[in-house]
Amino acid sequence: MSGLSLWYTRNTSSGTSYCNNGWIGMNSNKQADIQKENEFNFKPGQIAFHPGITNSHSCIRFTVPSAGFYDVQGVFFSSGPATNLNGDATTDVHLSINNVELRSLWINQNTGILVFPQIYLNMGDYVQFEIGWGKNNNYNYDSTAANITITGYY
Ligand SMILES: [Ca+2]
């Protein structure tokens, strides 16, 4: 899968499956989509994440560089290939700030959005999006695309 950059922790006690603890991925290609069988289709630059085999959560974290007001928005969707446009992701997505959860949503072959405008954040605070395995209690086909925008007003 040329152009798919992955960040993950390999579970060395049980082999080499990169999904044991989940992953964060990005299509690093400038023009080409990345498609995996029936599971996903990521456009160039698309970020995605996937929960782990025992519902360990993957997370995307933003550490605030300086104090001020921020708009935080995340759009999450199950992104399938042409033969399965809605994909098969069944996940739960959570937004927290400094480990305090603000909101969560379910992805069930669909899309969801979390929006928090004009939140005051201090330098060093962290905004975190996490993903779990959803209502079906398994991690199969759970690749979930994430369009996250954080805009600061100083
Ligand atoms: Ca699932």
Distance between Cα 125 and ligand 1 center (Å): 30
DSSP for 94-148, written as a single string: EEEETTEEEEEEEEESSEEEEEEEEEEE-TT-EEEEEEE-TTTT--TT--EEEEE
pLDDT of residue 88: 93
Distance between Cα 98 and ligand 1 center (Å): 26
Residue 19 pLDDT exceeds 80: no
Residues with CB in 5 Å of ion ligand 1: 90, 133-134, 136, 142
pTM score, whole prediction: 0.91
For the segment 125-154, what is each residue's pLDDT rounded down to a tens digit?
A: 999 999 999 999 999 999 999 999 999 997
For the segment 73-116, what is each residue's pLDDT rounded down to a tens digit?
A: 999 999 998 888 889 999 999 999 999 999 999 999 999 999 99
Task: Look at the block and give the residue holding tokens 């975190």.
Answer: 128
Distance between Cα 108 and ligand 1 center (Å): 8
Q: Which domain holds residue 75?
A: 4-153
CATH number at residue 138: 2.60.120
For the segment 46-74, what is each residue's pLDDT rounded down to a tens digit?
A: 999 999 989 999 999 999 999 999 999 99
pLDDT of residue 14: 60
Tell me how many domains the chain contains: 1
pLDDT of residue 18: 58
Distance between Cα 154 and ligand 1 center (Å): 39
On the 0-12 / 13-18 / 19+ scale of CB atoms within 10 A, 111 is: middle
Distance between Cα 76 and ligand 1 center (Å): 14
